[in-house]
Amino acid sequence: MPEYQLFCFAQSGNAYRVALMLNLIGADWKPIWVDSFKSGEQRSPNFRAEINEMGEVPVLVHGAKKLSQSGVCLTYLADHTGKFRPEGEDERLECLRWILFDNQKISGFMGPYRFLRNFAPARDPGAESFLRGRLANNLAIVNKRLAGASFLLGARPTIADISLTSYMYYPPEEFDFDVAKDHPAIGAWMERIKALPGWRHPYELMPGYPMAK
């Protein structure tokens, strides 16, 4: 049995960053597909009782540990392997600052925006417009940061960067805008991340794409 298992599905940006981390560190791991769209498996009583009471993916299993919330999973893997780990108090706090910003202001808007455009039963133009406006402002903050540094914390990638990958590599047509073209410093950073050994596209790394009709 692989050392790690990851409950995930291909369309989940939150799961992607943990799957990508596992691949980048060369872990022995296996994805376990969760049928989110047809059955809502992660919200089932059985899943909540046995896998994650929050009813969400990703869930990282390592031995007796079951870890949820992607930031927790990334931190655990960095601490356990020493890879992509922030060093020293100042770097750890700065890393946490960017992970929280990403979760709240980047991924936290990109995920719902993409869901409304592609997977929701009905479109909501008002909500989409609100999220798009917030995203433009917040992506500009990240772009400015990366215009002056190769990675979020400086010269080397950390889990702050891996956190930021969550929705960046999904097809631009799923968003109706292209992050890499609209924000060139983010685009250049995306290429640097893609150059890391072990990088793979989310639709290649996790099961469930294309979705069964």
Q: Is 101 part of any domain?
A: yes
* Largest Cα span, the chain: 49
Residue 158 pLDDT level (bands cut at 50, 70, 90): very high
pLDDT per position as a tens digit, 44-101: 999 999 999 999 999 999 999 999 999 999 999 999 999 999 999 999 999 999 999 9
CB count, 10 Å around CB of 38?
9
- For residues 44 and 99, state if they share a domain: no
Count of helices and strands (H, E) across the chain: 10, 4
Residue 77: closest CA among 142, 183, 158: 158
Mean pLDDT along residues 115-131: 95
Rounded (5°) CA angle 125-122-167: 70
Q: Is 213 part of any domain?
A: no
Q: What is the mean pLDDT of the chain?
A: 97
Q: Is 143 part of any domain?
A: yes
Q: DSSP of 45-88, one letter per residue?
A: HHHHHHT-TT--S-EEEETTEEEESHHHHHHHHHHHH-SS---H
Going by DSSP bridges, is the β-strand pair 59-62/4-8 parallel, antiparallel, or unpaired?
A: antiparallel
pTM as predicted: 0.96
Res. 31: pLDDT tops 70: yes
Which residues have CB under 8 Å from 100's CB, separation 6+?
71
CATH of the domain at 95: 1.20.1050.10
- For residues 103 and 186, state if they share a domain: yes
**Full domain range(s) for residue 66:** 4-83+199-205
Residue 113: closest CA among 22, 23, 176: 176
Cα–Cα distance for residue pair 35/212, rounded to 1 Å: 10
pLDDT score recorded for residue 66: 98
Q: Is 46 part of any domain?
A: yes
Residue 213 pLDDT level (bands cut at 50, 70, 90): low
Total domain count for the chain? 2
pLDDT per position as a tens digit, 131-146: 999 999 999 999 999 9
pLDDT score recorded for residue 211: 87
Q: Is 212 part of any domain?
A: no
pLDDT per position as a tens digit, 161-206: 999 999 999 999 999 999 999 999 999 999 999 999 999 999 999 9
